[in-house]
Structure 1
């Protein structure tokens, strides 16, 4: 079974244009992400999917594989779907049950253990999207709208994702919030089978997806299951120049 890692990377970020090309300890952010994916022994190949020639050329310059895609994609998942179509047209042996891992191009601190966890999760079934979650450790994180919260059932299937604090603890709200065992944040790494990915991108943007600005809600609204795996590890996305400064201290 073929297992690929495809890293969607666009230049036109609203808060930090060109962030994946920003240098972190002498290397572009996208190179850090690519090299961490390559460390994993579970991928057949790793690709970057981008709409920008500057990113494409940068990836090629450090010996990586890159695929040019359209500028019009509303999400990284849609960009990955186009990359898959191009690979198939060029004779790449991808089947409906092939595993695709979507690794965000702006997370240079992602741990290889997390990458391996999502691949292993995807080997357990073929009828769901896979992702990782981690326990929230402080109230500030719980209330931060940039930290996506998730609640899931006893079998590990997501019930909802939100930028708001969920689950809402009525008693804790009255007495003041404190962290409890039901507060989890979403780690933005996804796994799909090719068949599920194609189904997802052919769906129109959903109401909840638009309201929360969270593409995974398109899946839930249309009955596509999302299975979560709890991880002890954390990651850190580069969304602003200030985030890059923080990453410099931890990379």
Structure 2
């Protein structure tokens, strides 16, 4: 049986509420999404298998000027997942294609994370979706509702994702042995992605504001790869941009 092909889609949305036109902000004279595409290539993915998915012609033109494959998508998408699915449909990718959603605002995403997740996905074909998690080492992160926790079984099968402290050791609430922070990178089988985007928002998704709960609520399996390393923060605010820019300009 032929090995499913790997495609990477990098959503780059112009209309960020906290940082408008974010993808066009420059670091070392290149826009943020260019750096993300570089990290993906450093993970061993060919440029021809990478697509910038954007909602704005300015980003489309910037990508073309940098010789990056780009597709202009609809402006009304609620999430990056819907934008990725539009690309998959437009390009008629086969249902078994493995599509990686790499967020366009993470110019320091470790290439090793992407590489390991591809390997994990290939050796665990039973999962409809795969993602990653990293150990939580600080109790403040464990109780922080902005830090999403992944709860898994012994077979790396996601049981739940939550903003609450979980799994909680009843006898020792300070115990972080099994605490994992979810990392927002996903690999979808194209068929699973299309199914997911056709489903309505689930009750748990609405409560926790976590899109991955729509998949679990509807029986789509999610495999969680453990990645034992720090994940640099993405760019959400002007402060994030200034901080990451200063780091990357020193590299």
Q: TM over 0.5, yes or no?
A: yes
Structure 1 residue aligned with 2:131:
131
Aligned to 1:241: 238
State the shift of 1:250 in Å: 3.1
1:10 aligned to which of 10, 13, 19: 13
Q: Which residue of 2 aligns with 1:106?
A: 105
Query: What is residue 24 of structure 1 aligned with on the other side?
Result: 27
Maintained 8 Å contact 1:136/1:179? no
The 8 Å contact of residues 6 and 98 in structure 2, kept in 1 or not, is answered as yes
CA distance in 1, matches of 2:246, 2:177: 29
What is the DSSP-based 3-state SS (H/G/I as helix, E as strand, rest coil) of the residue aligned with 1:188?
Answer: strand
Q: Give the TM-score, by structure 2 length.
A: 0.90
Distance 1:45 1:183, change over 3 A: same
Q: 1:60 aligns with which of 48, 64, 69?
A: 64
In structure 1, the gaps of 5 or more residues are 89-93
Is the CA contact (8 Å cut-off) linking 2:169 and 2:175 kept in structure 1?
Answer: no
**Corresponding residue SS for 2:91:** helix
Q: Secondary structure at the match of 1:123?
A: helix
| Aligned equivalent of 1:166 | 166
Cα distance per residue 1:75-130 (max 9 Å; x no partner): 11111111111112xxxxx3111111110001111011111111112212054200
**Matched length:** 242
Aligned to 1:141: 141
Q: 1: CA distance between counterparts of 2:55 and 2:209?
A: 21
Query: Following the alignment from structure 1 to structure 2, what is the Cα–Cα distance between the partners of residues 211 and 9?
Result: 26
- Residue 40 of structure 1 and its aligned partner are, at CA, apart by 2.5
* SS of residue paired to 2:151: strand
The alignment status of 1:227 with 2:223, answered yes or no, reads yes
In 2, the alpha carbon distance for the partners of 1:27 and 1:143 equals 37
Cα distance in 2, alignment partners of residues 96 and 87 from structure 1: 12
- What is the deviation of 1:153? 0.6
Q: CA RMSD in A?
A: 1.6
1:33-48 equivalences under 5 Å are: 33-43=36-46, 45-48=49-52
Q: Distance in 2 between matches of 1:34 and 1:238?
A: 15
Tell me the TM-score normalised to structure 1 length. 0.90
Match of 1:91 in 2: none
